[in-house]
Amino acid sequence: MFLTMLLLAAIGVLAFTMLSQRQQQHFLQKQTLIMVEQIQGYFAAKYKDKVLVGNVSDSLSNELLVLQHSFGMHISPSKKQTGINSSFLMIVKPNNVIDVWFDVLLNNQKQAVKWRYSYTQHQWITQLSELISAQFQLETFDSQNQLFNWVAQYPSNDQLMISLKPFDSNQLTEHQINQMLMQLPVFEMGDANNQNIVVYKRLDNHWVLTIEMPVYLGRQSIEILLYTLAMVMFVGLFVCILFIRPIESKIARLLKSLDKFESAKDEPLLPMQLEAMHKPEDEIAQISNKVSQMMQRMHQLAKDQQEMTRAVSHEFRTPIVKMGYHVELLECDLPKDDFSILGIKQNMKELHSLVDELLLYSSLEQGFQVRFEEFDIKHAVENLIEQLHTINQCKLNLMMSEQFIIKAHEGYLVRALQNLITNAQRYAQNQINIYVEQIGSHVHIRVEDDGPGLTNEQKQTVFEPFTVIEKSRNKKLAGHGLGLAIVKRIVLFHGGKAFVDEPKQLTGASFVMVFPKRAI
């Protein structure tokens, strides 16, 4: 969505730039054409009844010098542009520098001239007033109506308004009167209510020429920008509704099905169920089918693995029982303290423990439904400590400030705590601290020892199945690598998490279980 909106914004900026440049080109061409017509009108009025004597080119050069000195125009004779049939050619260069070629009529002969100027509204309206004033001086008017008809020939619209006003010194300031008496134009800039630029030019003792035009380029750019932004927003909304929103909806449904797959209790959606969400030719439907097939394979592999683990664990029980029977027969003929018999019995005990742990871990992976009941957590922990304190000489310290009731599976939760304590007993030197506390709506149980501790790398993998820490902890006392994995599964089963933390008081490893006080 963000990339789409960013792309639309880039398109909008590009469109605004192109529209603005095109509008500016059109505006400059229109203004330039008006000025060219005034220059041509000036020549037509000046040489209407005049016949030149001598070289026309020299006369043209002299007249252009008059324009340069009187009006500040950079205008010069030019050759006819090759390949151009039109009598008007304009080229806009950077910073609104304009080169324009056009013809003027001199002694009934067309003469090509070139005019270069840098467009500003102030300069343009000044030169326009000077040209109209110069033409006024060349004309003779027999009546006031003839004068107004002459003014009416000039363009007048919402972008350019040319009119005559009586010269009234009472409505002018002293500075404006002095400017007009020196035949200089008088300017008025617009305000917040009237964003126009106005120039007054005194024609004679009776009339003042008034030219008014809006501050066009700046305002037009803002209008184009607002129009472009509105169009981009409309197009973006249309694209989102028509194209992006349906795609997001389909992806959301696909993600929902993936979320369901995270739970081992849920079966993955079948391909035809996902396909029903979309059209057959939809690419997302094809992705959904592929994902569903992959989910099915993964689900089946996990299911097969669990069944195999459970079956193998059950099958181990038969040979173990047989081995125990044969050991008892051997004990009849051998001394009871024979090292071979003691070794076999110890190995059989470890096999029994491994099978029990495999079966428990397999049942926890299946995530079967159990009933949670309320019980006194302090009483359960004290009973467990009473059973385990005789395993070795390490002191078990219970740190629990208050007694409270929790809702959970007491058997599984006690087994998880038992695994943590027995794991700590393998490596502790003198004491083990057990912290049980309620923080908000969760229960925190921490078991820490004063053994060698764990490295950062070992902390990341210690809860994985069949992970046995052999480097920093005692390899001889290491278990099968399923005890902590069972802890993690039991805590997840209760909606919590298990992790390794920094110890509070001792120097060894510190294992923490966090789960809701009232599991659902």
Q: Please write the tens of the pLDDT for every residue from 332-379.
A: 777 766 777 777 777 777 777 777 777 777 766 666 567 788 999 999
pLDDT at residue number 475: 46
- Other beta carbons within 10 angstroms of residue 357's beta carbon come to 20
Percent of the chain at pLDDT above 90? 12
pLDDT of residue 433: 94
Q: Please name the amino acid found at residue 259.
A: D
What lies within 8 Å, CB to CB, of 153 at 6+ separation is none
Q: Tell me the range of 126-130, 158-162, 386-390, 512-516 where mean pLDDT is highest.
A: 512-516
DSSP E strands: which ranges in 124-192? 161-166, 186-189
Write out 247-274 in H/E/C secondary structure: HHHHHHHHHHHHHHHCCCCCCCCCHHHH
Q: What is the 3-state secondary structure (H, E, C) of 83-128?
A: CCCCCEEEEEEHHHEEEEEEEEEECCEEEEEEEEEECCHHHHHHHH
502: Cβ–Cβ under 8 A, 6 or more apart, which residues? 510
By CB atoms closer than 10 A (0-12, 13-18, 19+), residue 490 is: buried
CA separation for the pair 452, 428 (Å, rounded): 8
Q: Would you state the pLDDT for residue 11?
A: 66
Tokens 């024609």 sit on residue: 203
Going across the sheet that includes 510-516, the strands are 395-399, 431-439, 442-449, 510-516, 497-501
User: Could you tell me the pTM of the whole model?
Assistant: 0.45
Sign of CA dihedral 452, 453, 457, 462: positive
Query: How far is the C-alpha of 214 from the C-alpha of 196, rounded, in Å?
Result: 4
Which of 183-187, 284-288, 373-377, 410-414 shows the lowest per-residue confidence on average (mean pLDDT)?
284-288
Give the pLDDT confidence score for residue 282 in this predicted structure.
64
Please tell me which residue, 169 or 410, carries the higher pLDDT value: 410
Provide the pLDDT for residue 376: 92
Once rounded to an integer, what is the mean pLDDT over residues 147-172?
77
Non-local (6+) Cβ contacts of 186 within 8 A are: 176, 179, 180, 199, 200, 201
Q: Does position 34 have pLDDT exceeding 60, yes or no?
A: yes
